[in-house]
Structure 1
Amino acid sequence: MSSAGTTAHVLGPVDQIPLGEGRAFGVGGEQVAVFRLRDGSLRAVSGVCPHRGGPVADGTVDRQVVICPLHQHAFDLTSGCSTTGAEPLRTYRISLDGEQNLVLRTAAV
């Protein structure tokens, strides 16, 4: 699926991510962390911490920030910017389709 310079990747049902948690997905050779926040909203960022390669999807998450489980670097889930001085995470557009599947959009190559 693609349109206007983006490619859509269907990741599967939203229910595979419990509320308040994240999961890692392989997309186009990269790891992406997708979070289903307690309010039901979705966020997607790079799945690997730029500091030392920590698994971002396994981090502690609240409604705005995820904290890498290895060295406690914090990242804003909307902008990807670090609040603790690490390099930023890439952000992705994530949504649901009509069948409640996660759809991640990446820039077409």
Structure 2
Amino acid sequence: MSWIDIGHIDDIPLRGARVVKTPVGCVALFRTAETEIFAASNTCPHKGGPLADGIVHGQSVTCPLHNWVFDLNTGAARGEDGRIATYPLRLTGGRILLDGDAVGKRCAA
């Protein structure tokens, strides 16, 4: 894996999100707890809603357009037939590191 430093965890509000541009399109970073963060596609497969504008709760995000709920661990939609891509990341000293190989090759975790 090729890790890319994309910012500090404090740049993302608790239970909030931010968007970074990558070769696979916009990736949303979701901060679900003090030291817990997930990376996933920013686009809802249902109607293209911007997931970073959705509600972050537990380890999930709810699409702001039609209330589809996505598990940020797996990308699976709860109760719906849909999925979003998720991407590997890690925290090191408060810095968010995104797997550049995954976002560069359109591979989802």
Q: Which runs of 5+ in 2 are unaligned?
A: none
- The alignment of Structure 1 onto Structure 2 pairs a total of residues equal to 103
| 2: CA distance, partners of 1:57 / 1:40 | 18
Give the one of 2, 5, 10 matched to 2:5.
10
Whose helix proportion is higher, 1 or 2?
A: 2
TM-score (norm: length of structure 2)? 0.83
SS of 2:52's equivalent in the other structure is helix
Match of 1:3 in 2: none
Match of 1:96 in 2: 91
State the distance in 2 between where 1:30 and 1:95 align.
20
Task: Extract structure 1 runs of 4+ deviating beyond 6 A.
Answer: none
C-alpha deviation, 1:29, in angstroms: 4.3
Task: Output the TM-score relative to the length of structure 1.
Answer: 0.83
Deviations 1:17-38 (A, max 9, x none): 0111111111224111111113
Instruction: Give per-residue Cα distances to partners, 1:39-94, cap 9 Å, x unaligned.
Output: 42111111111111111111111112110001111101100000131420011112
Matches within 5 A, 1:42-53: 42-53=37-48
Using a 3 Å threshold, how does the CA distance of structure 1 residues 39 and 15 change in structure 2: closer, same or farther?
A: closer
Secondary structure of the 2:10 match is helix
1:80 pairs, out of 75, 84, 98, with 75
Could you tell me which residue of structure 2 aligns to residue 22 of structure 1? Answer: 17
What SS is found at the alignment partner of 2:88?
Answer: strand
* Percentage of pairs with the same residue: 37
